[in-house]
Amino acid sequence: MKKGFMRFAMLLCALALAACGKGGGEAADGAITVGFSQVGAESEWRTANTRSVKEALAAPEFNLKFSDAQQKQENQIKALRSFIAQGVDVIAFSPVVETGWETVLREAKAAGIPVVLTDRAVDVADDSLYVTLIGSDFVEEGRRAARWLLEDSEGQAGPIRIVELQGTVGSAPANDRMKGFKEVIDADPRFQIVRSQSGDFTRAKGKEVMEAFLKAEGRDGIDVLFAHNDDMAIGAIQAIEEAGLKPGEDIRIVSIDGVRGAFEAMKAGKLNATVECNPLLGPQLAQLIRDVHAGREVPKRVQVEEGVFTRDQAEAELPNRKY
Ligand code: GZL
């Protein structure tokens, strides 16, 4: 009898401790409980973004409940519903795709829980369903990739045949980077996008789709690769080399994110340019959560500053990279 009681008491203690589980040290009394749903761990960018968010929300003033959705919307919706059921103070998440959020966001609103979007946007008719979005301007990132290509193609005759590795289908970065890139290159008839397909932001899929592009277009059928992120570009570089071609020379490559792997590829001459997309949003996100929780006014859209880096800058810039 006594043993059974002891076991039950230990179970209760373990459950109590687990309920305080957070992404860091111990939460202070009166801490802001934050439910954070992350897209997944699909790329170097995402890993750096998760590290930045967890570090910023490890402060004792926060009690972080972190969930990884493995790039599935249904997992994010489940996580948001769990946060609502737990009565968290604030929900923050990076929506894996733009659509399909109205119902669960209305449930959060009905529960009086403010929602902060980070990194990616949602496509909802009623923008009162979220308080603010902090993230990059993906349309501008697409424009910057195309402007680099125009500059780098100065004096070259057409046709300049481009293959495009798109990000996750339906995601804001994929939709907007494609839009911005096309907006700029469509003004110059030399450029033609001959193939465009999703590599889901991963190295493995990027390599697989690039192999298919090379097979379909032939060794001499592709002049440029535009990849929506560096991980897919790095996967494609492997495919290009395995086809006996020189990435960065036979096929010029421009991608987006500016992760360390991209700088290493540029230093090796295999990638021509990367458009920076800053994942280090943690400190700004923490401040937004403090302000939202305190009922202070916050801007509906918070941008992050970022640049463009080319092959010749890679060696000097590498030591400065923070992700
Ligand atoms: C962009 C982010 C994208 C990155 C990818 O802010 O949502 O998702 O470009 C990541 O590397 O997978």
Write the DSSP symbol of residue 300. Answer: S
Find, among 48, 109, 42, the residue nearest to 80 by Cα. Answer: 109
What was the pLDDT predicted at 7?
A: 59
Give per-residue pLDDT as tens, 71-125: 999 999 999 999 999 999 999 999 999 999 999 999 999 999 999 999 999 999 9
Asked if residue 105 lies in contact with residue 115, where contact means CB atoms within 8 angstroms, the answer is yes
Q: Are 118 and 292 in contact (CB under 8 A)?
A: no
Ligand 1: residues with CB < 6 A are: 42-43, 45-46, 119-120, 135-136, 173, 201, 229, 231, 256-257, 277
Contact 294, 160 (CB under 8 A): no
Question: 259, 201, 254: which is closest to 44 by C-alpha?
Answer: 259
Cα angle 267, 271, 273; round to 5:
95
Residue nearest to atom 1 of ligand 1 (CA): 173
Q: Report yes or no: 118 and 285 within 8 Å, Cβ to Cβ.
A: yes
Residue type, 249: E
Displacement of CA 103 from its chain's centroid (Å):
23
pLDDT for position 148? 98
Q: Do domains 26-135+279-305 and 138-277 have the same CATH topology?
A: yes
- Residue of minimum CA distance from atom 3 in ligand 1: 173
pLDDT, position 304: 83
Distance 37 CA to ligand 1 centre (A): 15
Rounded to whole angstroms, the Cα distance separating 161 from 29 reads 60
Q: pLDDT tens, 137-174? A: 999 999 999 999 999 999 999 999 999 999 999 999 99
CATH 3.10.20.30 at 26-135+279-305, yes or no = no
CA 115–ligand 1 middle distance (angstroms): 20
Segments making up each domain of the chain, as ranges: 26-135+279-305, 138-277
Question: What is the pLDDT at residue 189?
Answer: 97
In the numeric block, which tokens belong to residue 137? 């301007």
How many H-runs (helices) and E-runs (strands) does the chain carry?
11, 12
Nearest-atom number in ligand 1 for the CA of 257 is 9
pLDDT attached to residue 19 = 41
Q: What is the pTM of this model?
A: 0.90
Say which DSSP state 127 is in: G
Q: What per-residue confidence (pLDDT) applies to 27?
A: 76
* Residue 207 CA: distances (Å) to CA of 64, 128, 233, 307: 36, 40, 8, 26
Q: Which residues of the chain have pLDDT under 50?
A: 13-24
Q: Which residue among 229, 230, 234 is best mutated to probe the pocket of ligand 1, counting the most ligand atoms within 8 A of its Cβ?
A: 229
Cα of 298 vs centre of ligand 1, distance in Å, is: 24
Alpha helices (H) in 153-259, listed in sequence order: 172-185, 203-217, 230-242
Q: How far is the CA of 174 from the centre of ligand 1 (A)?
A: 9
**CA-closest candidate to residue 44, choices 247, 195, 256, 246:** 256
Residue with tokens 């800058």: 313
Which DSSP state fits 130? -
Contact between 80 and 35 (Cβ < 8 Å): yes
Q: Which CATH superfamily is domain 138-277 in?
A: Response regulator (3.40.50.2300)
Question: Which atom of ligand 1 lies at the shortest distance from residue 259's CA?
Answer: 11
Residue 305 pLDDT: 77
Task: Kindly state the tokens that stand for 113.
Answer: 């829980």
